[in-house]
């Protein structure tokens, strides 16, 4: 009986040992990335522990294997070549391959970090139609004049009877002057100019009569953010670090074909736990735009600069390389942003976590504001700081995107590598071609 108990205990111990051994191998293997992207001339160190070790038969890859002690091995990678890919293996007991690691040596793209405060306009002209409104006429019937005329949310109302409209007040003024007559509307939908006719509906509320079109309209200002970086060679820009998902409180309003303008920060509402703060920015659609938005995606807004000289706002707006994922580390860094007026300033932060992502994701960094001056002014990360470039060791590593609601000193950042990829993809697909507006009647539009 005692012998059986001993055998049972031995079996449990052996099982626990096997499970622990397997878990250790799996954890070590997971800590070694599948892919490493490095710059020419860069040195990179990987380490592992017994029973795992590194192995390579590639003579072109300069690898130095260093046994630190009986159980730890370091691999020093020297990347002297350019635009090459190499492989090495992670082996169990130096014999059984369990993982292959690919090293890509590539020249990093050089960009200019910004930090400039920008206003985002859905359109530089007209007003934005954000929804339909049912109208109860004086005859007690309900009407949808705009919807029945084929006008859609997201259309930009440019003209009424050949009169340009630039704000909500001008639309109301024209309606009052026309006294219910049929109106000829010109709207922009994507790269089309839509011409249609609509008859206002007379309604009465609180003994006051007026004519309505059955639409909700908003001025085209979408909000304040930060320009992340630009490429003076291609005149491309990237900003915000995240998508503009709604406008006027309504989703689905397209921002493509919009523009960015310079914004002036007139104040900051400090962030507190549970209550995110925000920058108070001033801008309008009558300003000369800085650039045109051609893409609004998960990783920010992208477009073409009109005049590159307008974006050099600070002494540290100098070309620097955009870091690869594997080059970012935890520790001190800086962000460039504006908290007063239009002056871009540097502030200290710590990168407290780096997510080693194999493919684009929106949350690649966790950061913490450590700069006493910024904490005093803002309480940490606030709305409007989205897109503020993150700099580490002379490289652009990412952009601020989100704040932790319960701790405004912390937030997320997107990796610069993914923002740069979005910008380059847009360039490759000719996404910056000039917008050709086709004038068509509404019956032929879609």
The 10s digit of each residue's pLDDT in 336-351 is 999 999 899 999 999 9
Residue 159 β-bridge partners: 164, 186
**In this structure, are strands 117-121 and 142-143 parallel, antiparallel, or unpaired?**
unpaired
Total number of residues shown for the chain: 446
Per-residue pLDDT at 62 exceeds 60 = no
The pair phi, psi for residue 442, each rounded to 5°, is -65, -30
CB 352 within 8 A of CB 367: yes
Surface-to-core class of residue 429, CB atoms within 10 Å of its CB (0-12 exposed, 13-18 middle, 19+ buried): exposed
In the chain the first and final C-alpha atoms are separated, in Å, by: 84
When pLDDT is averaged across residues 155-168 and rounded to a whole number, the result is 86
Per-residue pLDDT at 302 exceeds 90 = yes
Cβ-based neighbour number of residue 396 at 10 Å:
28
Confidence category of residue 444, pLDDT binned at 50, 70, 90 = very low
Per-residue pLDDT at 224 exceeds 50 = yes
Confidence category of residue 79, pLDDT binned at 50, 70, 90 = low
> Measured between alpha carbons, how far is 376 from 301 in angstroms, rounded to an integer?
30
Place of tokens 């609004």: 296
Per-residue pLDDT at 54 exceeds 80 = no
More confident call, 446 vs 408 = 408
Q: Tell me: the pLDDT tens digits for 82-111? A: 667 777 777 777 777 877 777 777 778 899
Which of 305-314, 384-393, 430-439 is the least confident region? 430-439
Q: Tell me: the pLDDT tens digits for 353-384? A: 998 877 788 889 999 999 999 999 999 999 89
Which pLDDT value is given to residue 446?
39
Which pLDDT value is given to residue 19?
78
Which pLDDT value is given to residue 97?
80
When pLDDT is averaged across residues 303-317 and rounded to a whole number, the result is 81
CB 115 within 8 A of CB 341: no
Q: Tell me: the pLDDT tens digits for 325-336? A: 888 999 999 999
As annotated, the active-site residues are 242, 371, 386
pTM higher than 0.85, yes or no? no
Q: Tell me: the pLDDT tens digits for 121-160? A: 877 778 888 888 888 888 888 888 888 888 888 888 888 8
> Measured between alpha carbons, how far is 248 from 242 in angstroms, rounded to an integer?
17
Per-residue pLDDT at 423 exceeds 80 = yes
Q: Tell me: the pLDDT tens digits for 171-210? A: 888 888 887 888 898 988 877 888 988 888 888 887 788 8
- Closest by Cα among 233, 239, 351 to 293: 239
> Measured between alpha carbons, how far is 426 from 423 in angstroms, rounded to an integer?
5
Per-chain mean pLDDT for the chain: 81
> Measured between alpha carbons, how far is 389 from 116 in angstroms, rounded to an integer?
10
Cβ-based neighbour number of residue 166 at 10 Å:
17
Helix (H) or strand (E) holding 262: strand 259-262
| Domains, in order of start, for the chain | 2-109 (2.60.40.10), 111-120+221-428 (2.40.10.120), 129-217 (2.30.42.10)
Per-residue pLDDT at 68 exceeds 60 = no
In the DSSP assignment, the letter for residue 76 is E
CB 313 within 8 A of CB 338: no
Which pLDDT value is given to residue 321?
93
When pLDDT is averaged across residues 38-55 and rounded to a whole number, the result is 71
Instruction: Calculate what percentage of the chain has a pLDDT beyond 70.
Output: 80
List the Cα angle 260/261/266 in 5-degree steps: 125
CB 64 within 8 A of CB 78: yes
Residue 145 β-bridge partners: none
């Amino acid at each position: 009986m005692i012998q059986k108990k001993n055998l049972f205990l031995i079996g449990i111990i052996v099982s626990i040992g096997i499970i622990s051994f397997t878990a250790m191998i799996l954890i070590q293997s997971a800590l070694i990335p599948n892919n490493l992207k490095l710059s020419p001339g860069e040195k990179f160190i990987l380490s592992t522990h017994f029973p795992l070790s590194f192995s390579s038969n590639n003579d072109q890859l300069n690898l130095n294997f260093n046994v630190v002690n009986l159980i730890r091995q370091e691999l020093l990678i020297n990347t002297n070549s350019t635009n090459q890919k190499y492989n090495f293996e992670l082996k169990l007991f130096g014999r059984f391959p369990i993982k292959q690691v690919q090293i890509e040596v590539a020249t990093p793209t050089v960009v200019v970090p910004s930090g400039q405060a920008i206003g985002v306009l859905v359109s530089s002209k007209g007003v934005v139609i954000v929804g339909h409104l049912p109208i109860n006429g004086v005859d007690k019937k309900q009407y949808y004049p705009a919807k029945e005329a084929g006008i859609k949310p997201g259309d930009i109302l440019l003209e009424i009877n050949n009169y340009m409209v630039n704000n909500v007040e001008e639309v109301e003024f024209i309606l009052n002057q026309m006294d219910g007559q049929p109106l000829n509307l010109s709207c922009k939908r994507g790269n089309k100019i839509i011409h249609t006719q609509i008859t206002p509906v007379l309604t009465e509320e609180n003994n006051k009569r007026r004519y309505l079109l059955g639409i909700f309209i908003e001025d085209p200002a979408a909000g304040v953010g930060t320009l992340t970086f630009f490429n003076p060679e291609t005149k491309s820009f990237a900003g915000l670090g995240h998508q503009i998902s709604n406008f006027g409180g309504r989703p689905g309003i397209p921002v493509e074909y919009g523009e960015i303008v310079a914004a002036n920060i007139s104040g900051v509402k400090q962030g507190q736990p549970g209550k995110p703060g925000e920058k108070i920015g001033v801008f309008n659609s009558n300003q000369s735009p800085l650039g045109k938005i051609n893409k609004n995606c998960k990783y920010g807004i992208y477009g073409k600069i009109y005049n590159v000289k307008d974006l050099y706002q600070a002494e540290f707006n100098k070309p620097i390389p955009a870091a690869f994922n594997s080059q970012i580390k935890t520790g001190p860094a800086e962000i460039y942003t504006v908290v007063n007026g239009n002056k871009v300033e540097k502030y200290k932060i710590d990168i407290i976590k780096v997510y080693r992502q194999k493919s684009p994701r929106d949350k690649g960094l966790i950061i913490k504001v450590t700069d006493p001056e910024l904490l005093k002014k803002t309480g940490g990360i606030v709305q409007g700081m989205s897109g503020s470039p993150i700099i580490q060791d002379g490289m652009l590593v990412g952009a601020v995107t989100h704040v932790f609601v319960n701790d405004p000193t912390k937030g997320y950042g997107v990796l610069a590598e993914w923002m740069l990829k979005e910008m380059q993809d847009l360039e490759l697909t000719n996404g910056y071609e000039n917008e050709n507006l086709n004038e068509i009647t509404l019956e032929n539009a879609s």
